[in-house]
Chain A
Amino acid sequence: MLNPLVTTRNFLLIICITLLAACSGGGTGETRVEQGTREGVLHFGNGTEIQGLDPHIVTGVPEHHVIQTLFEGLVLKNPYTLEIEPGIAERWDISDDGRFYRFYLRPDALWSNGDKITAEDFRWSWQRALMPALGNLYNYMLFPLVNAEAFATGAIEDFSQVGVRVIDEYTLEVELNEPTPYILQLFDHYSTFPVHRATIEAFGTASDRLSQWARVGNIVTSGAFELVEWGLNSHIRVEKRASYWDADKIQLNAIVFYPTENLTTEERMFRDGQLHRTEDLSLDKIPVYLRENPELIEIAPYIGTYYYMVNTIRAPFDDVRVRKALAMTVDRDLLAETVLQGIVAPAYAVVPPGTLGYNPPKTFGFDPAAARELLAEAGYPNGEGFPAFEILYNTQESHRKIAVAIQQMWNQHLGVEVSLINQEWKVYLTSQENFDYQIARRGWIGDYVDPNTFLDMFITDGGNNKTGFSDPLYDQIVLRDAPAAQDRDARYELFHQAETILLEQMPIIPIYTYQSKHLKHPSLKGMPANIMDYYNYKYVYLEAAE
């Protein structure tokens, strides 16, 4: 047997040598960000590891960021104004009744393998996106098209009845159920992006989720960049594609995406010069950056609302007075100023204010005295006899902080006993699905910029209406009257009415309007803040700071 001490000594020696070798290599002068800026390589903190790159399968913001570099749809958006810009379609005509769109595709748009991108590519891709067997969670993005929903639910099997027609190689016609003012925005969503049929069919059937087609080496893409490397949980690298129709405008040579699910780590990577941009920033860090490096932090309104939903089926929350009393005793200003570090706007309605000119009603405010009266009317003077209840939230630091503060506010102003439960994400979703909650935290990010993306959640038995709220008039307005409205003002007026009904019933307690928050290196340009947190990589460039 070996003498243990001898082996120990040898191993210690090895360790020391390894450590020394490793240390001596560290501390080179240039950081990754500086090198990237010099070489035109953007280092992008991207939240979580992406699920995949098939535009008709994945969901989620990190996936969105990568897919946008690889694929392009009919149109794009200007990152400064969010106005629609031509994408693969160089122009389009709209019929007078607003139900027919004719897109003229640019003949110089090519797939990354050199094939032409044609109208047939779009038709086939949308057929695929709607195929019931594929299980596309975002298939509803195409539902404004005639018969699209019927095809997706399997009611009809003949895709030629769906409102998309190939007129010729480069002309595509779309027929809508009704004029849908936000339809062009949907054509910039990845679920409507074209995919390359021959590639997909070479690796399996159109509806095969297990296909390998979207992997490095296999994937054929339509966008400004092409996929070069994909290390799981490590990084994804995309590089500029010379055959892209607008390649002259692309200023970045490459983008590297890093999964950064831990906020502390992400912030440190940024500080260490490893990232040009972070996906998020923890609340605690905000005042520090605002104070010491305000030029590095970017905070902007985001089209999303943070709210508590109330299970209106269960007593005592089936009483609207109780719900109102709770809503009126959340001191949103105090919450925004303190726990939320003064960067968010209090919300009193579900649609964020200023959503393309729409301003939501404000039917109530912070009013503890009136709230106590309402609670007394409901039979609980000073909270006496009010059963103890729970606030449910999914495990996350910021949700915890908000819940702790609101718990105290309700206890203080209404005298009710509140406890908190946090649940791991999937459990939390299941609890909501089964109405196994009393009050639950919830957030909603708009799919497009229009009040409809918020208000159609609360139609009777809507898939995202987990509150039990049901109002025939509300359904009538949102589902039938508003889509048929003649102009924007009339439409907004109807939405205003609907939202007022919602707030009168108070199945949800709005808390604040989301803000996007990122750290950005000064060399990163052309990535302006906007309410969609939308980037158009054509505008992005890197320029070393002087």
Chain B
Amino acid sequence: MWRFIGWRFAQSIPVILAVITITFFLVRLAPGGPFSSEKAVSPQVQAALEAQYNLDQSMPQQYISYLADLARGDFGPSFKFPGRSVNELIFSGLPITAELGFYAMLVAVFIGGLAGVIASLKPNTMQDYGPMGLAMVGICMPSFLLGPLLVLVFGIWLDWLPVSGWGSSSGDKILPSITLGAMYAGYIARLSRSGMLEVMSQDYLRTARAKGLPEYLVITKHALRGGLLPVITYLGPAFAGLLSGSFVVETVFQIPGLGRFYVQAAFNRDYTMILGTTTFLATLIIFFNLLSDVLAAWLNPRLRYQFKKKT
């Protein structure tokens, strides 16, 4: 098992390197540079700017010196924010996005998972349709619609919760977390329902029932473990989606998180910032995918057996 994890870690190094390389060259291919502006830029100014950020070097040179800096843990200076390093920007946004992602994940997993399990217990009854209908609403609503709607109802009409901010007034974390988590809650509800139904029709559950085990024990001890397997496989990608999808929510609620920096960087062609955030997010996402694979493996007896054989 540990060897498997170690092996997967080793494998992710070339993956991250590939991500860096592709992004490095892709951003430079995109039309418009970091210093293009509506006001005309004189050639002297353009040259001075490029010299300050080493953009006057050849691309391979830039690439090598970027990698060298990266090896020392230095993402370089931001092009858009003079005097700020990408490291500083990332670590100013990350805790906030992570916190937002964590709350959204809580919303998604517990509300979604619970709804899915409840629905699967009595398929094709109101107990199924109710939660599943809600899950559908969650999936169908884009966050750029759900966010403003929630704000309108709870922030303006009812005046219960603040309309924007993060940690600046009490209760301002609730609406963003729900907005971001809603879609994933919907997905998880559906996945867990179908996973549960799948499992419940399997032989070993019928055996368990036949043995006279009470239904709640059948569910908690046997069904949940197998039934939530698809959900766990889904958590990795869901987390990735949360991290990169937090941008809309962060904009709607004026939250100073990483997603907003990232999108601003893309629109500003802030090369180092795009690369830095991409590399950083990619590493995180790969880590979480790995985590969800390991969890899935651990919960699935057959695959677990395979690991044992391997190691």
Q: Which residues of A contact B (CB under 8 A)?
A: 3-5, 8, 11-12, 15, 19, 22-23, 25-27, 32, 49, 51-52, 54, 57-59, 132-140, 152-154, 207-215, 231-234, 258-262, 264-265, 268-269, 271-272, 274, 424-427, 429-431, 433, 462-464
Contacts and interface: CB of A to CB of B under 8 A. Distances in A.
B119 interface: no
A268 B220 contact: no
A274 B169 CA distance: 11
B253 interface: yes
Contacts of B260: 233
Interface string B43-75: 011111101100000000000000000000000
A272 B156 contact: yes
B9 interface: no
A26 B37 contact: no
Given A259-B254, A274-B164, A137 B39 contact: yes
Contacts of A463: 39-42
Q: Nearest 5 CB-CB pairs, A to B?
A: A463-B40, A426-B32, A25-B170, A233-B256, A135-B48
B38 A429 contact: yes
A25 B162 CA distance: 11
A516 B49 CA distance: 32
Nearest to A4: B224
B93 interface: yes
B163 A19 contact: no
Given A8-B113, A264-B148, A426-B36, A272 B163 contact: yes
Contacts of B98: none
Given A271-B156, A272-B156, A426-B269, A26 B171 contact: yes
B31 A464 contact: no
Contact of A213 (B44, B83, B110, B169): B83
B37 A261 contact: no
A136 B42 CA distance: 10
B155 A136 contact: no
A426 B36 CA distance: 7
B92 A232 contact: yes
Contacts of B51: 133
Chain A interface mostly: loop
A11 B110 contact: yes
Q: Residue among B30, B42, B81, B106 with the most chain A CB within 10 A?
A: B42
Contacts of A137: 37, 39, 41, 45
24 contacts: A4-B228, A5-B220, A11-B110, A22-B171, A25-B170, A49-B264, A136-B45, A137-B39, A139-B45, A140-B42, A154-B44, A209-B49, A210-B82, A210-B83, A212-B83, A232-B92, A232-B93, A234-B256, A264-B252, A265-B164, A269-B254, A426-B33, A464-B39, A464-B40
Q: Residue among B163, B168, B253 with the most chain A CB within 10 A?
A: B163
B91 to A, nearest CB: 11
A54 B83 contact: yes
Given A15-B110, A25-B170, A426-B36, 19 more contacts: A4-B228, A5-B220, A23-B174, A26-B160, A51-B80, A51-B81, A54-B82, A59-B37, A134-B48, A135-B46, A140-B42, A210-B83, A214-B82, A232-B84, A233-B260, A262-B251, A265-B151, A462-B40, A463-B40
B252 A265 contact: yes
A210 B41 CA distance: 20
Given A27-B159, A427-B31, A135 B40 contact: no
B65 to A, nearest CB: 15
B31 A26 contact: no
A139 B42 CA distance: 10
A51 B82 contact: yes
